Amino acid sequence: MRKKIAAANWKMNLTLQQGEALLDGLLAQSYQLQPHQEVVVAVPFPYLTMAVQKLQQVPQFYVAAQNCYTKASGAYTGEVSVDILQSVGVQHIVIGHSERREYFQESNQFLAEKVDAILAKGATPIFCCGEPLPVREANEQNAFVAKQLQESLYHLSAEAIQKVVIAYEPIWAIGTGKTATSAQAQEIHAFLRSELAGKYGAAIADNISILYGGSVKANNAIELFSQPDVDGGLVGGASLIVEEFAAIIKALP
Ligand code: 13P
């Protein structure tokens, strides 16, 4: 059975002290996670060690970085490699968030290199894709996301693709309070899975977790996560509030 994942993306929010308090608050709740369920918390780089220390003894809770660079080491001032992340105990890395694509000009081709760098070290990429509003309004979202998969992931072997977690995040739903309806989410998740099945076969596509992101909240998580092809969420704003994210974790199917 593929994993169901509640992933927090703190983005560039919270001080260290606020982040510690948020993790303490989350850990004060009881979750009774089943073996196929996981919680991932993507924190700013300077908080990774703190978060690893707090979560490393907690079964099925993992710390993620929000980005990485493609090279292992060297003269790349300001960048952070997969090796560096692993040396502080991090094995999950979010890549290709629409904010990085937009503000830092990350292309599908560059993300293909990041995927390779992460998988080469045995870590887990959480690969984000999703269309902007004009593409959705023109009803061209399927072709748009299919191209993102093709250009960043389809060079991978059947074995490697199963180690990737995909997060579909329609840009028009991020931070806007406008969630895709559960039917819209299911429709495009099913499309993504059928694309993966076309390339790798249905059995492999069935193993790949596809998370939904974009204004996931405590009050819509159960409805979204109950869709057959929605395998949890990548959560921004609501992941900064203990009660909200705890409820989202508890909404995992
Ligand atoms: P919001 O949940 O704030 O809409 O953000 C979604 C997101 O971008 C998660 O990566």
pLDDT at 175: 84
CA of 214 to the centre of ligand 1 (A): 5
Residue 152 CB less than 6 A away from ligand 1: no
Residue 55 CB coordination number (10 Å): 21
Instruction: Tell me the C-alpha distance between 80 and 241, whole Å.
Output: 28
CA of 73 to the centre of ligand 1 (A): 30
pLDDT digits (tens, 9 = 90+) for 107-137: 999 999 999 999 999 999 999 999 999 999 9
Res. 199 pLDDT band, cuts 50 70 90: very high
CA of 142 to the centre of ligand 1 (A): 20
- pLDDT of 52 above 90: yes
Mean pLDDT of 21-25: 98
> Which residues are tagged catalytic?
97, 169
What does pLDDT average to over the chain? 97
Strand partners, 93: 65, 125
Res. 1 pLDDT band, cuts 50 70 90: confident
Contact, 192 vs 214, CB < 8 A? no
Instruction: Tell me the C-alpha distance between 186 and 180, whole Å.
Output: 9
pLDDT at 11: 98
Instruction: Tell me the C-alpha distance between 56 and 54, whole Å.
Output: 6
Instruction: Tell me the C-alpha distance between 245 and 234, whole Å.
Output: 11
Strand partners, 168: 129, 212
Contact, 163 vs 200, CB < 8 A? no
Residue 214 CB less than 6 A away from ligand 1: yes
Tell me the whole-structure pTM to 2 decimals. 0.97
Contact, 172 vs 133, CB < 8 A? yes
Residue 134 CB less than 6 A away from ligand 1: no
